[in-house]
Amino acid sequence: DTGVSQDPRHKITKRGQNVTFRCDPISEHNRLYWYRQTLGQGPEFLTYFQNEAQLEKSRLLSDRFSAERPKGSFSTLEIQRTEQGDSAMYLCASSEENTGELFFGEGSRLTVL
């Protein structure tokens, strides 16, 4: 297994457009997390899934954000009507249950013009 993979690695879009990011976790991991990292900050928790169930969402995740993990494998994070403040690195991570260790992907960098 090659680890957590994310696509695309970079996305430049105009304000108001919709964007979607995909994450493929490590295959045996049943937990999948989305974090966001802005310049000069550490990653911030957005949401997580156990299998296909979305168990928690941060208040950072506005109504314009939606995440899915339809078959308990890959996940998508969609941002509708993007704003300049959405510019950030979106990090996906996966873990086995109750190991306390996250494995991060390389991230998807979003730039909103």
Partner 1 sequence: DQQVKQNSPSLSVQEGRISILNCDYTNSMFDYFLWYKKYPAEGPTFLISISSIKDKNEDGRFTVFLNKSAKHLSLHIVPSQPGDSAVYFCAASVGFGNEKLTFGTGTRLTIIP
Applying CB under 8 A, which residues contact partner 1? 4, 31, 33, 40-45, 48, 56, 91, 93, 95, 97-107
43 vs 69, beta carbon nearer partner 1 = 43
Q: How far is the CB of 101 from partner 1 (least distance, A)?
A: 5
1 vs 56, beta carbon nearer partner 1 = 56
Query: In the structure encoding, which two tokens stand for residue 66, read together?
Result: 């939606």
Cβ atoms within 10 Å of 35's Cβ, excluding its own: 22
57 vs 80, beta carbon nearer partner 1 = 57
Burial 56-75 (b: 16+ CB within 10 A, else e): eeeeebeeebebebeeeebb
